[in-house]
A and B are shown apart, each in its own frame.
Chain A
Amino acid sequence: MTENKKYWKGEEDLVRDPSFIHSAKNEFSEGLPLEEVLSEDDFELSSNRRDFLKMFGFSVTAVALAACNKAPVRKAIPYLVKPNDVTPGVPNYYSSTCGYTGMPIEVKVREGRPIKVDGNGRCATFGGALSVAGQAGIFDLYDNERIKKPLRKGVDSDWATVDKEITTLLTKISAANGRIALVSNSIHSPSTLAVIEDLKTKYPTVEHINYDPISYHGLIEGNNLSFGKSVIPSYHFDKAKVIVSFGADFLGDWLTAEKFTKDYTSKRMPGDDMSQHIHFESNMSLTGSNADIRYPMQNKNQGMLLISLYNEIAKVTGSKQMAVAGQADVAGQGVSKTAKALIAAKGNSLVVCGSNNPQYQVIVNAINMALGNYASTININNPVNLYTGNDETFNSFVTDLTAGKIDGVLFYGANPVYSHPNGAQIKKALKSNVKLSVSSSISLDETSNSCQFVTPDHHYLESWCDYQPVGSTFTLGQPTISPVFDTRQMQESLLTWAGAIDAYSENTMKDNGIYGQEHSVSPFYNYIKSKWSVTDKEFNTYLHDGFVIKDTPTISVPGMIANTDEIASEIEKSKSAADGIEITLIEKTGMLGGVLSNNPLVQELPDPISKVTWHNYIALSKMNAVRLGINDNDVVNITVGETKMVLPAIVQPGQANGTASIHLGFGRTVAGKVAKGRGENAYALIQAGAKFNSYVVNGAKVEKTSTGETYELARTQTHHHIEGRDIVRETTLEDYKKDNRAGNRYEKPELVSLWYDHDYRKAGAPNHLWGMAIDMNKCTGCAACIVSCSIENNVPVVGEVEVRRRREMHWLRIDRYFTFNNVKDVNYKEELDAVSKMVPENFEPKKLTREKALEAIDRKLAKDENAGYEHFENVSVVHQPMMCQHCGSAPCETVCPVLATTHSTEGLNQMTYNRCIGTKYCGNNCPYKVRRFNWFRYNDNSAFDFHFSNDLGKMVINPDVTVRTRGVMEKCSFCVQRIQSAKLTAKRENRSLEDGDVKTACQKACPADAIVFGDLHDKESEVTKLFHNERGFAVLEELNVKPSVRYMTKVRNI
C-alpha cells in the first residue's frame, strides 16, 4: 500500500515543475563553481565553504608540487608530425657553400638549427679546408642585429611596397636612359650572373660593377698585361719545391689561403721532398712567420728586388736582362741566394707577389715564365673567380657617381662607403645625387644606411645558390634553416624587379614540367635548376655532394706579350722617394676586410702574430719605435698627407725597419654593437689612384701624442721570448737528414714514479687511450682550430676588457715565440764562438746548455742599444698550439678537493662542471696553463652580450656540450662528445672503432692537417705512429705528468 502512496516534497513536486525535475536528478543541486572560480572576472561570486576547501586543497597541492620542481618553466613544443629526416638528438649534415669564401662546406644541423660548419672534404679542389672566416660565418646567421624587415628610408616597411617603388623608379630611370649601377662584391655564381643579365634585359641601362674591399686588381691586370688574360691563375703550392713570396700572405688571407695552406703543408714533411719557402715582406705576416728564410723588405724596394731577381735568373737561363740602374740599392737583400734556390728548382718553383701593382705582377710573371713554372705550378687556364673587382672601373664609377652621372645604384653586399678611400664622397652622392639607391645586405652597414631602400638579404645558410669559385669547380649552396627574419635573397629581389620571378614560381615550374621537388618554396632554386638543365637525379646528387668538378683545363704555357723592359723602367721611375714611414695595410685574420667585423669570434680571435684582439693598431719595428720613443700601447698620431689617424702602437718583431702596418676592417661606424666604434678605419689611408688602389702608403708621419696617452691593447700573449726553455724543439733539414732525432735528442731525465700506472694505460688493455699528435712543421698558426673549437664547445666570447685582463676563454690557444735570426751577424760573434768552443755543437747531451747560452746572448742582444735594434726585423717564429694535454698523472686532478676533475679509463682528463666549486687550484697547478675559469656568467648576461645572451644567438649552441655557469673551471675535453658519438655510431654499426672515426673539432678544421687524434692502444693508428716518430716530443716531459699530446720537432729548410 505504502508503495502506491506517493509523497510530494513540495508544491513544485506536485505540479511537476520542469526545473524541479531536472534539479532533482542531481543529488547536489548546484554544480561546482569551478569554472567561475577559475575565471578571474568575479571571484567572490558564489564560492561557498566547501568550494573554498576544495580550492584550498588543490592550491596547496599545486603549490607544493610546483615547489618541488626547481627548474624554471620552459616551453617545449614537440614535433606534431616528425619530419622524416630529423631525429631529435641526431645531427644531420648538409653540403653547402660558404658565401664569404666560396669554399664548399658541410653544415651540421641539429633539430633544424645549423650549429657548425666544416670544410667539405670530398671536394678535391679545396680539400676540405675552411678558413677562420668560413668557420665563424655561422655566427652572423644568429646575429639578432640583422635587418629583420625591408627598410624604406630607414623605416620598417614591407616587401610589396618596397618592390613596387623600386620597380617604378627603375623603370622611370631606365626609360629616361639614366645610368643604373649594380655594385656587388665579386660574384662568381653563374645563376646570379644570369639573373643580373635578366635585369639588364629589362633595364638596359644597368651596368654591373664588381667591387672587392681588398682588391686583387693588380694580379688580374698583371696577367692581362702579360698574357692578355684578365684572370687570377690557380697556384699549386703542392707542386713547388721552392716557393718565393713577395708580400703575398698566401697562408693567411691571400686568395684561397686555406687551400694554399693545405697544399703548402703537404710539402713540408721533412725529407728530400720538403719544399723551401723564401719570403720577402715588410710586415710580419702569418706566411712570413712560417718561411724558412725571411727577408724583411721595404715595399718601396719591391719592384727593384723583383727586377734584380729576374736579372739574376736571366743571367743563368741566358735570357735578356732588364736594363735598369739602381739595382745596387737592393743588393745583399737575399736576391742572389733566392735566385740560386729558384734556379736549382727550375720548373718546380713558384714566385708569388701580394702587391696590387700590375707592373710588379708582370715582373713576377716574367720570373715564373723564365723559371718555367707555368708548366707546373701555375695554371692560368683554371682561373680563380673569387675576386674580379677592377679598381679602374670602380674608381671611374665613383667619379661618375660624385659627378651626378648615375641615377640609380643597387648595392649587393658591397660596402664601399666604409671600405673605399672615397667612402665619404660616395655617401654624400648617395644622399644627394641619385634618384634610387638600394642596398641588400644582411645587417645594416655604412652603405645601406645611406640608401633609400634596404632589402635585407638572406644569410648564405638560408639561401639557394650556385658558385664557381674556380674555373673547373661549381659548388652549390643550399639552405639549412628557414629564413630567420622577413628577408629575401638578393637574386629573388632582382628577379622580382626584373619582373621575371613569376616564371620561376612553383606553379609555373610545375606547369612547365620542370618542377619536381616536393617541398621547394624558393623561386631561385627553380631558377638555378632551370639554368643548370640537368635531371632531378643529377641535380640532387650535386646538392648532396655540394659540388661538381668539371674537367680541369690542362696547363699550358701562355705567351708573354708585355714589354717587360718598358715596365721595368717605369718601375724604376716610379720609385718612391718619400720620407717617413711606409705603412702597409693588412688584413685581420678572418675579418675579410670588414665583412666580418661584427663577428665576435673574429674580433676575439688573437692576431696570429701580434696576439692582439678587438682593436687595430700600428705595428712598428723596434728600431723605429726606439727612435720615435714609442712603446707598446702608446697612442700615436699617424699623418699621411691630409689624412690623420690616432691608433695605439705596438712594437712588432719582424716588422721591417722603416715600415709599419695597420689592420683593415676596424673603425666601423654603422655596424652591430660588436664592431661599432672599434679601432680606426685604415681604408682612409689608401691613396685612391686612377689605376689601382695601393695598400702601401708612403711617407707617413708617426709621432707620440702630446698627452702621452696610452691604450692598453687586449693581447692574449704578452711575453714573446721563450727564455731558453725546452718547450719547442727545432732543427734544420740538413741536420735532420743526417739524424732523424736531430734537435730532439736531449738528455732525458730519468722519469721515476712513486706509484705504478693504472691498468688502463698499459699496452694491451682493452680500452681506448686517446692521444693527439701535432706536427709543428705543418702548423702554420692560422687559428682556424681556435674558432672551430670555440663553436664546437660553446666557448664564450668575453670581450676586450676581459681579454685585457688575460681572461680569454679559448680552450685552444696558439703560443707564438720569436727568436733572433742573425745573432751571429751582430756584435756577439766572439761570445758565440766562446760558447761553441766550450760546448761543441754536435755534443748532443749538452746541447741544451748551448742553447741556453745562445738564449742569454739573445736576451743581451734584445737590450743592446749599441746594436741599434735593427736586428729586431729579422726574427724567426714558432707557432705551438696548446690545449689540455690530458696528462696521465695530471697535477690538476690531484689538487681538486671535490673530485670535479678526474681521469677516465680512456686517458681523458675530464671536467665535471656541476661538481666544480671553483677553487681554481687546478688552474694554478696546470703547468701548461690551459684551464679557463668562468669569472662571470658569460651567458644571459648583458655585460657579455656576444650572442649567448639572446634567444637567437643561443641557437648556435651545441646541445651536446654543457654551457658552463659562472664559477666553474673549463678546458679542452678532446671533444669527448665527438668520441662518444663515434663510439655509438660504431656500436650501432656493430663494428669496432676505427682510426679516423673520431675527429676533434680542431683536427677537422685544421687546413694543414697538423693535428692527428686517435687511439694510442691501436698499434696501427696514425697517432701511435706519430708518438713513436723520431721527431716526437712532449712539452715539459721532465715533469713526468705523462701528457697525451705530442709535438713533432720543427724542421726548417734553411
Chain B
Amino acid sequence: MHQIDSKIRPRLIQGDKSITDVSNDICRPIENKATAAWKLGFGISLLFLALLGGTLFWTTWTGIGVWHLNNTVMWGWDITNFVFWVGIGHAGTLISAILLLFRQKWRMSINRSAEAMTIFAVMCAAVFPLFHMGRIWVGMYWVLPLPNAFGSLWVNFNSPLLWDVFAITTYFTVSLLFWYLGMIPDIATVRDRAKTKSRKFWYGFFSMGWNGSARSWHRYEIVSLILAGISTPLVLSVHTIVSMDFATSVVPGWHTTIFPPYFVAGAIFSGFGMVLTLLVIARKVMNYEDYITIGHLEAMAKVVMLTGTLVGIAYLTEFFIAAYSGVVYEQYAFINRATGPYWWAYATMMSCNLLAPQVFWFKWCRTTPWFLFMMSIIVNIGMWFERFVIIVTSLHREYLPSRWAMYVPSWVEVGIFLGTMGLFFTCFFLFAKFLPVINMSEVKSILKSRE
C-alpha cells in the first residue's frame, strides 16, 4: 500500500486503515449486540418519547389552552422550538450538499450522521406546527391544496405558513432521498456481510439490489451531484421561507428584510453546533476517533465561529436599522429586547451566539473535544434563545400598549420540547444501531488521499 502523506495537512482518516478495516469498524455496531451504554441511552430516550406522546395527547384532548399562550403572544415555545429544530436540521444537508459541491472531502466522515440528524430534527420540528394548530385533526390535511370536497376552499398561496408546508415537506422528503440514496451502497455492504437471515432480508430489501457496478456508480455520482446541487438552494430556501413567517408580517421586530440571510446563517450555526454535540460523543462512544478526527472537529469549529459572527453582525445590524428607520415601534421593539422584561433572554442570546464562538480564534479551543462539546451546548442554547427572543419579545409588546402582555410557558410546553428531544435521540440511537453511521463507500475512496 503506498500512502502519500501530505506535508501540509494530516490525513483525513487516521489510523492507517485498510478498506477491510473500514468495513469492519463501521459495521461493528450493526453486527454486534447492543452495548449496555446504547441500551441505557435508548431507554432514556424512549422515556422522553413517552413524555412527548403524553403531552401531545393532553394538548390535543384538552385544547391548546394547556399551553400558556395568550391572545397577545399567540406563538411561544411551540414556534420557537419549531424554528430551533428546523435550524438544527440545516447542517446535515448543508454539510452534504455544499461540501460535496465544493469537493470538501472532510465531509465524508460526518455527512451521514449529519444527514440523519437533519431528518430527525425536521421530524421533531414538524411536531410543533402540527400540534400548535387549534384543530390539528382538520389542519393536517386542510393545508394541502386538495379539491373542495375536503373543505370549502382552496389554500392561500400568499401565506408564509403555506410556503412552510411546501418547504418543509420538500426539504424532508428530498433530504430523506438524499440520505437514503447515499446509504444504498453501504446497506449493500452490510447485506453482503450479513450472517443472519433477517439481516440479509432487511438489508437486502433496502439495498435495492445494489451491486456496485461501475455503471451504477457513474449514474449514482451524477445523481448525487445534482441532488447536492438542488439541495443547496433548497437548504437556503427552507430557512429563508421559515424566516418569512416573520419577515413578511407587520410585527415590529419581525418585519425585517435581513431575516432570510440571517436565519440561514443562524441555521448553519445551530446545525453545526448540534453536529458537534452528537459527533464529539459518538466518536468517543463508538470508537470512531480515526474517522472523525480532530481535524473534522476543528473544521466545524471554524464554521461555527464564522456563522456565529455572521449572526452577531445581523443582531447589530437590526439594531442599527431600527434606530435609523425612525419608526417608533421598531425602535421600541429592539430597546425592549435588550432592556425589557425579557432582557435575560436577549443577554443569553448575545453572549452565546456572538461572544462565545469568538473563543474559536484559539486553536486549543478548536481542537479540544470536551471544550468543543461544551461550546456546542452553549451554541444550541444561544440559538434556542435567539428564536425565543425574536418570537416572544416581539409579540409581547407590539403596537398598542394596551395589549402588552407577558408569557411564561406551562409544563406541557416544556414537556413537549423535552419530548422532541426524546424523539430525536430515539431516532438517533436506532440509526446508530441499525445503519452505518459513517459513509463507508466514500471513506473507502479517500483512504489514500490522492489529492
Contacts and interface: CB of A to CB of B under 8 A. Distances in A.
- Determine whether A and B are in direct contact in the complex, meaning some CB atoms lie less than 8 angstroms apart: yes
Interface of A: 717-727, 802, 805-808, 813, 815-817, 852, 880, 882, 891, 894-899, 912, 914-921, 923-925, 927-929, 931-937, 965-969, 1035-1036, 1039, 1041
22 contacts: A718-B405, A726-B328, A727-B399, A802-B65, A815-B403, A852-B328, A895-B158, A895-B248, A896-B161, A897-B156, A899-B153, A917-B142, A917-B143, A918-B64, A920-B75, A921-B74, A921-B75, A933-B71, A934-B63, A935-B63, A1036-B399, A1039-B250
Contacts of B64: 918, 933, 935, 967
Interface in B64-113: 64-65, 68-72, 74-75
Nearest to A898: B142
A894 B129 CA distance: 18
A896 B159 CA distance: 6
Most A Cβ at <10 Å: residue of B62, B63, B248: B63
Interface of B: 62-65, 68-72, 74-75, 129, 132-136, 138-139, 142-143, 151-156, 158-162, 165, 245, 248-251, 328-329, 332, 395, 397-406
Contact of B399 (A915, A927, A935): A927
B402 A813 contact: yes
A391 B404 CA distance: 45
Nearest to A849: B326
A894 B158 contact: yes
B72 A929 contact: yes
Contacts of B153: 898-899, 912, 915
A924 B249 contact: yes
B401 A723 contact: yes
Contacts of B249: 891, 895, 924-925
A897 B155 contact: yes
Given A816-B402, A899-B156, 15 more contacts: A718-B405, A719-B401, A727-B400, A806-B70, A807-B71, A894-B248, A895-B158, A895-B159, A895-B249, A898-B142, A912-B153, A918-B139, A921-B74, A929-B403, A966-B63
B250 A1041 contact: yes
- B interface secondary structure, majority: loop
A720 B74 CA distance: 21
Contact of B135 (A719, A817, A916): A916
Contacts of B161: 895-897, 919, 921
Contacts of A816: 402
A1039 B155 CA distance: 26
Nearest to A814: B402
A912 B139 contact: no
Contact of B156 (A718, A898, A933): A898
Contact of B143 (A815, A897, A937): A897
Contact of B151 (A898, A923, A935, A1039): A898
> Which 8 pairs across A and B sit closest by C-beta, in order of nearness?
A918-B134, A967-B134, A935-B65, A917-B139, A815-B402, A920-B74, A806-B70, A929-B403
Nearest to A1038: B327
A859 to B, nearest CB: 12
Contacts of B138: 917
Nearest to B327: A1038
B71 A931 contact: yes
Contacts of B401: 719-723, 725, 727, 817
Q: Which of A717, A806, A816 has the most CB of B within 10 A?
A: A806
A292 to B, nearest CB: 23
A936 B132 contact: no
Contacts of A891: 249-250
Contacts of B399: 725, 727, 927-929, 1036
B70 A805 contact: yes
B67 to A, nearest CB: 8
A719 B71 contact: no
A860 to B, nearest CB: 15
Contacts of A916: 134-135
A805 B404 CA distance: 12
A895 B244 CA distance: 11
Given A915-B152, A919-B161, A924-B251, A968 B135 contact: yes
Given A920-B74, A927-B399, A914 B152 contact: yes
Nearest to A925: B249
A808 B328 CA distance: 28
A933 B74 contact: yes
Contacts of A933: 64, 69, 71, 74, 134
A968 B63 CA distance: 11
Contact of A912 (B152, B159, B251, B329): B152
Contacts of A725: 328-329, 399-401
A813 B400 CA distance: 12
Contact of A723 (B63, B136, B152, B332): B332
- Max count, chain B CB within 10 A of own CB: residue among A813, A927, A934, A1041: A927
A925 B251 CA distance: 6
Contacts of A722: 401
Given A805-B70, A897-B162, A924-B75, A717 B402 contact: yes
Contacts of B75: 920-921, 924
Nearest to A798: B65
Contacts of A935: 63-65, 69
A916 B133 CA distance: 9
B246 to A, nearest CB: 9
Contacts of B406: 718
B241 to A, nearest CB: 13
Contacts of B136: 917
Contacts of A969: 134
Contact of B398 (A805, A927, A1035): A927
Given A806-B72, A817-B402, A917 B133 contact: yes
A631 to B, nearest CB: 15
Most buried by A among B155, B165, B399, B400: B400
Contacts of B405: 718, 806
Contacts of B402: 717, 719, 813, 815-817, 880, 882
B135 A929 contact: no
B153 to A, nearest CB: 5
A932 B71 contact: yes
Contacts of B395: 924
A935 to B, nearest CB: 3
Nearest to A924: B74
B256 to A, nearest CB: 15
B281 to A, nearest CB: 36
A815 B155 CA distance: 35
A916 B397 CA distance: 26
Nearest to A969: B134
Contacts of B159: 894-897, 921
Contacts of A932: 71
A573 B398 CA distance: 55
B155 A898 contact: yes
**Best-surrounded residue of B398, B399, B403 (most CB of chain A within 10 A):** B403
A806 B71 contact: yes
A915 B399 CA distance: 28
Contacts of A1039: 250
B70 A968 contact: no
A814 to B, nearest CB: 9
Nearest to B63: A936
Contact of B250 (A724, A918, A927, A937): A927
B151 A936 contact: no
Contacts of A934: 63, 134
Contacts of A965: 135
A352 to B, nearest CB: 31
A991 B121 CA distance: 63
A717 B72 CA distance: 11
Contacts of B328: 723-726, 852
Contacts of B71: 806-808, 923, 929, 931-933
Given A724-B328, A852-B328, A968 B134 contact: yes
Contacts of B329: 725
A724 B158 CA distance: 34
